[in-house]
Amino acid sequence: MLDFTLLKTDTSGLTNARRGTLTLNHGVVQTPIFMPVGTYGSVKAMSPLELKEIDAQIILGNT
């Protein structure tokens, strides 16, 4: 299941910024989000501990 709920948009007219939630099969992700990218099955620039410390809600895996 995939669902995007728009929670807030910038009303100043200066940007197109928006805030929302992305509901996936495995949970809910707040947007906008920093999403580490893993190639060949792992995130190269960060350790698993660092990913946990930054509370990464989602990781894009390119295998």
Task: Say yes or no: 18 and 6 in one domain.
Answer: yes
Task: Say yes or no: 50 and 63 in one domain.
Answer: yes
Over the stretch 8-39, which tens digit does the pLDDT of each residue have? 999 999 999 999 999 999 899 999 988 888 88
Q: 55: which 2 tokens?
A: 């509370």
- Res 46 pLDDT > 80: yes
Task: Say yes or no: 27 and 53 in one domain.
Answer: no
Task: Say yes or no: 63 and 49 in one domain.
Answer: yes
Task: Say yes or no: 58 and 43 in one domain.
Answer: yes
| Domain of residue 22, residue span | 1-32
Task: Say yes or no: 28 and 39 in one domain.
Answer: no
Task: Say yes or no: 23 and 38 in one domain.
Answer: no
Q: 17: which 2 tokens?
A: 């910024």
* Mean pLDDT of the region 42-55: 87
Q: What is the pLDDT of residue 14?
A: 95
* Mean pLDDT of the region 29-54: 86
Q: Count of domains in the chain?
A: 2
Spatial separation of the C-alpha atoms in residues 9 and 11, rounded to whole Å: 6
Spatial separation of the C-alpha atoms in residues 33 and 35, rounded to whole Å: 6
59 closest CA partner among 21, 47, 51: 51
